[in-house]
């Protein structure tokens, strides 16, 4: 039996997680999978109930689970908490990644042919679609470096990386590229001005020698941001540090039609992982039925693939999502025209289940 910790969180988190669970429960019996789901509080919901966004009981649950199925955390009401370490993102999500050693974030950015008109780029730039995998280092850099402070009119964030941290994420990227048709890695840095990026580039060059079948290109982060909107089809695997990966993956996600289409897997050593949509808690649409659950459903597929080794089940979910999109079903965020028939979050989940 595989134990799955379910942390729905805040905002639209409970709504989209409900649809992801619906899909997992439908596909599991078809592949002989025995899944046990246990829910726990996290983020603002946990802070309201216990005074901390990551209660000890939640941490204990995830440490005794095979994977985490995560919704979203945060909301404007929590941004004013005096202690920044008790705000949902900094007090729950970042510590989860660090404590569990989840250093590698994989974000598949795929433009489905059915959503080509939802992409904000000219049709000639994305004809035939694209498939980009962003591999983001997740436990180092500016988000975790010390010292970190804000005193009076001065604030400090420290960007810190070791060669070991860079090496392990590069191995993830190169191994992923080896399994893809074009076997290309673009390593993104800011080596013209940052010492951590100079170390990053030096390390990437050395690691590339271990993968002679993979083509490595170095690119500055600003040039990468430009090329993502100028020639997205030129990318295969992008690997980069924490802050750059956070920004570039959201940019790439919008090119797929909506951030609501972008799943993610946060992995460490072994098979344990945290699976979540790349978007936030979207409190402005919480409870309205407008949320797009497809990123969460696709994250469920990644959970099956990476933590449970159930590739056939993962592919079945991904094909079901594609068939639902091909049939013209859309949530509001991916509606191409005003007359597109819109389905609710729950209806979209039901459609994917029916397509399994």
Residues annotated as part of the active site: 143, 190, 222, 246, 250
Torsion sign across C-alpha atoms 67, 73, 79, 81? negative
H or E element, residue 222: helix 221-230
CA-CA distance, 150 to 154, in Å (whole number)? Answer: 6
Torsion sign across C-alpha atoms 19, 25, 26, 30? positive
Give the closest residue to 320 by CA, choosing from 277, 278, 296, 349: 349
Beta strands (DSSP E) in 11-140 are 35-39, 67-72, 104-111, 130-137
DSSP state of 91: I
Cis peptide bond N-terminal to 147, omega within 30: yes
H or E element, residue 10: none
H or E element, residue 154: strand 154-156
Q: Count CB neighbours of 189 within 10 A.
A: 25
Torsion from C-alpha of 41, 91, 189, 130, nearest 10 degrees: 20
């Amino acid at each position: 039996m595989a134990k799955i910790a379910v942390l729905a969180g805040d905002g639209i988190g409970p709504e989209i997680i409900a649809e992801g669970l619906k899909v997992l429960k439908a596909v599991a019996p078809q592949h002989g999978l025995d899944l046990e789901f246990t829910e726990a509080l996290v983020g603002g919901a946990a802070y309201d109930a216990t005074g901390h966004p990551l209660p000890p009981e939640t941490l204990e649950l995830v440490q005794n689970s095979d994977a985490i199925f995560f919704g979203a955390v945060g909301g404007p009401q929590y941004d004013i908490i005096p202690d920044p370490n008790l705000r949902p993102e900094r007090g729950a999500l970042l510590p989860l990644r660090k404590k569990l050693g989840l250093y590698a974030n994989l974000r598949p950015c795929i433009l489905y042919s059915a959503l080509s008109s939802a992409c904000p780029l000219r049709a000639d730039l994305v004809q035939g679609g694209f498939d980009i995998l962003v591999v983001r280092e997740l436990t180092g850099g500016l988000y975790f470096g010390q010292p970190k402070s804000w005193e009076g009119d001065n604030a400090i964030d420290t960007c810190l990386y070791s060669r070991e941290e860079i090496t392990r994420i590069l191995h993830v990227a190169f191994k992923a590229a080896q399994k893809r048709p074009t076997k290309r890695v673009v390593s993104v840095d800011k080596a013209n001005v940052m010492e951590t990026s100079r170390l990053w580039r030096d390390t990437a060059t050395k690691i590339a020698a271990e993968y002679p079948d993979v083509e490595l290109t170095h690119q500055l982060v600003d040039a990468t941001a430009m090329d993502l909107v100028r020639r997205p089809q030129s990318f295969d695997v992008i690997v980069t540090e924490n802050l750059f990966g956070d920004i570039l993956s959201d940019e790439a996600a919008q090119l797929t039609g909506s951030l609501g289409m972008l799943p993610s897997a946060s992995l460490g050593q072994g098979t344990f992982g945290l699976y979540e949509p790349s978007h936030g808690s979207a409190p402005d649409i919480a409870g309205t039925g407008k949320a797009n659950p497809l990123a969460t459903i696709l994250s469920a597929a990644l959970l099956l693939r990476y933590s449970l080794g159930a590739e056939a089940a993962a592919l079945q979910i991904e094909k079901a999502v594609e068939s639902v999109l091909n049939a013209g079903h859309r949530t509001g965020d991916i509606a191409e025209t005003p007359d597109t028939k819109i389905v609710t979050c729950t209806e979209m989940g039901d459609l994917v289940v029916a397509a399994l």
